[in-house]
Structure 1
Amino acid sequence: MQLKELSEQSGVSAASIKYYLREGLLPAGDAINATRARYSARHVERLELIHALRRIVGLNIEQIRGILKMADDGAPRLDLLAAVQRVVLELDSVATADGGVGTRAADAVVRLRGWPDSPSDARNALNAHLELMESLNIPVSGELLDTYSKAMDDVAGVDIAATTAPDSVDELILTAAVGMHVHSQLVLKLLALAQASHAIRRYERDA
């Protein structure tokens, strides 16, 4: 297919396609002559991914470029999923006050749940958040961490099972990025509803 057909099939304007080509997000088509190229279903899939990362997840061009470069360079799926998680959930590689060793609470959660005792942006973010709560004198009991981590372990198991199945790397990124974005919001909204419901039950008699 040529540019016009690619635009029609993908629903992306010709101007946007040319922009993605210039930015290196979309691989060049097979040249027909000096001004025309032929594109394939692979280009349609990549455009679907770019559109979802921009419109649904809200990533910028530089963030998308970084993820796609890893994919095109053949990065292992585990590294690719970690990069997607870092960008989508805004997990910066935060150095903890203890030099990155971690908090006792975070280490206890890892042991309790049987999670791999490996460094990651997610673990750094948890360490940093637990340190923040401690600095604010907000207690985090073992019971609370047990309850929260058990619930999240169940949710994460379902999420990852859904994102590791696709054979296509672009489909893997699409499923993981959109899934992480919308599912994390779903967890927050369900938590908000549960909190509101518990508050109503406790305080409606006092109203």
Structure 2
Amino acid sequence: MQLKELSSRSGVSGASIKFYLREGLLPPGSTAASPRADYGEGHLRRLELIKTLRKVVRLGLDQIKAVTAGIEDPGLDDVALMGRVQALVLDLAEEPVPDHPLLAGLVGSGRWTDAPSQARNSLNLLLYRMDELGVPADAAVLAAYAQAVDQVAALDIGSVEQAGSRDDLAAAVAVGTHLYSQLLLKMLAVAQASRAMRG
């Protein structure tokens, strides 16, 4: 399809498509068959991803570039791509953080894989911050939270594994991380209020 049809089918203006092409967010079209670039279904998927990252997840241009660069990077496997998207959506800590003593009860004990990640860095930072503020986490409470989020994670990964392309995978992780983390917090607030009213 030509640029005009790509614009019509995607709902993205021709000017925006040209901008995304210049910025490297959208791969160039094929010019093998004619002097004018020809675009395919992959371009439609990418434009849908860009719209989702901008309008639903509210990522900025540099963050979207980091996602699309990860999709195009053959050295980045799907698990690493998922981690990159999570890190961008949740603004996870890049710098390594020494493990908090309570983390030992969560990783390497058969529950979670003992591997460095930005998510792990951020969890360590939060646990140390809670200590500083005088509201330290309790090992038993942390274990209960871990059991609950383990079940949620299993559901999330199940839906992400059905993605048909890396663009679909990135969209599923971004939207899932953004919306479902909010859903989990809102449901927790309702459950806490309900228990408080009953007890």
Q: Same fold (TM over 0.5)?
A: yes
Aligned residue number for residue 165 of structure 2: 168
| Alpha carbons 2:25, 2:65 under 8 Å: kept | yes
**1:138-153 to 2 correspondences below 5 Å:** 138-153=135-150
Answer yes or no: is 1:23 the counterpart of 2:20: no
1:12 is paired with a residue of what secondary structure? coil
Alpha-carbon deviation of 1:199? 2.2
Greater than 3 Å deviation, 4+ residue runs: none
Map Cα deviations across residues 51-97 of structure 1 (whole Å, 9 max, x no partner): 1111111111111111211211211111111101100111122443x
RMSD: 1.4
Structure 1 segment 115-154 matched on structure 2, within 5 A: 115-154=112-151
Assess if the C-alpha contact under 8 Å between 1:94 and 1:128 holds in 2. no
- Matched AA of 2:164: D
- Indicate the residue corresponding to 2:186 in structure 1: 189
The alpha-carbon deviation at position 174 of structure 1 amounts to 1.0
- Conservation of the 8 A alpha-carbon contact between 1:3 and 1:39: yes
TM-score, with structure 1 as normaliser: 0.89
Note if 1:76 corresponds to 2:73: no
TM-score by length of 2: 0.93
Structure 1 SS opposite 2:107: helix
**CA distance in 1: counterparts of 2:175 and 2:154, whole angstroms:** 16
Please give the alpha-carbon distance, in whole angstroms, between the structure 1 residues aligned to 2:146 and 2:51.
33
Q: CA deviation at 1:168?
A: 0.9
Tell me how many residue pairs correspond in the alignment.
196
Q: Alignment partner for residue 175 of structure 2, among 162, 173, 178? A: 178
Structure 2 residue identity aligned to 1:60? G
| Matches of 1:55 and 1:167, distance apart in 2 | 22
CA deviations 1:30-62 (Å, max 9, x no partner) are 2333xx321111111110111111111111111
Determine the C-alpha separation between the residues in 2 that align with 1:56 and 1:112.
36
- Gaps in structure 1 of 5+ consecutive residues: 203-207
Percent identical across equivalent pairs? 45
- Distance between the aligned counterparts of 2:93 and 2:160, measured in 1? 22
Q: Indicate conservation of the 8 Å contact 1:3/1:14, yes or no.
A: yes
Would the alpha carbon gap of residues 65 and 27 (structure 1) be closer, same or farther in structure 2, given more than 3 Å must change? same
- Give how far 1:136 is off: 1.4
Q: CA deviation at 1:176?
A: 1.1
What amino acid is the match of 2:115? S
Deviation (angstroms), 1:177: 1.0
Q: Single out whichever of 166-175 and 106-115 deviates more from structure 2.
A: 106-115
